[in-house]
Structure 1
Amino acid sequence: MADPADRALVVLAALAGVLGVALAAAAAHLDNAPSLLTAAQFLLFHAPALLGLAALAAGARTHPAVTRGAAFALALGLALFSGDLALRALAQRPLFPMAAPAGGLLLMLGWALTAVAAVWPVRR
């Protein structure tokens, strides 16, 4: 895995995992924090996806550029969506207006790009 983008994706996956575990633990100790648990679940569900996309791109199993674009869209979507939910739960304020919906749209775009990367022919 020599590409710096792939290494960055692994780091982002690890951060998603760490933050997902931390938010899940915080949600377990706070009364009535369903949005915090949702943020944690999104982070934990997408961390392995980011790892998988980095591996697919590094091995050129899917179109590398599109796969990396998909992964970075997922990572940014996670930051906006989960970040907004967590900030609302912990600080009672939003990240910025429409951050969670924008993050959700980026997550959907990332998954759609993942499908495109899978069907786009890989040049060897």
Structure 2
Amino acid sequence: MTATRIHLVLAALMGFVGVALLAAAAHVALDPGHAQTAGQMLMFHASVVMGATAARKGGYLQDALARIALSAIILGACLFSADLARRGFSGEALFPRAAPIGGWFMLGGWLGLTIAALTAKRA
């Protein structure tokens, strides 16, 4: 499977889980705020991954760097959201510092996309 397809499939799954978390936050979460934030982070970043993947395929992002950046955003959003979701439903962390580590991956991914846009061959 190509990186493009993997990124798109993971983005679609992030959107699916994001919607499910938002619904669960409204109805069954012990801490709805954590669960809602987890769902929102997945929804927002799913859209980013889809759009940036299209921009990468169109030549508007430097390919190799964009692939790495998109992978970092996916990993970070999933890690961050998994930690918040677990806190929202069980009151326990996924593992120590999981959310901040996920946040750093997302930030790194966003910075990587910025550099990929600045260094793309297509203007």
Please give the TM-score of this superposition, normalised by the length of structure 2: 0.92
Tell me the residue number matched to 2:79: 80
Among 3, 6, 13, the residue aligned to 1:5 = 3
Structure 2 match to 1:47: 46
| Residue-by-residue CA offset, 1:56-104 (whole Å, 9 max, x unaligned) | 2222221011111111110000111000000111122211110000000
Identity over aligned pairs, percent: 44
Match of 2:17 among 12, 19, 32: 19
Q: Which runs of 5+ in 1 are unaligned?
A: none
Distance (Å, rounded) in 2 between the aligned partners of 1:121 and 1:80 = 29
Unaligned runs of 5+ in 2: none
Name 2:27's counterpart in structure 1: 29
Contact 1:56 1:64 in 2 (8 A): no
- Matched to 2:15, the amino acid is G
Contact persistence 1:57–1:64 (CA under 8 A): yes
The amino acid across from 2:2 in the alignment is P
Q: Helix, strand or coil for the counterpart of 1:16?
A: helix
- Superposition CA RMSD, Å: 1.5
3-state SS of paired residue (1:96): coil
Paired letter, 2:17? L
After TM superposition, give the deviation of residue 32 of structure 1 in Å: 4.2
Matched length: 121
Give the conservation status (yes or no) of the 8 Å contact 2:31–2:87: no
1:65 maps to what in 2? 64
Q: Is the 8 A contact 2:59 2:120 kept in 1?
A: no
C-alpha separation in 2, matches of 1:34 and 1:77: 19
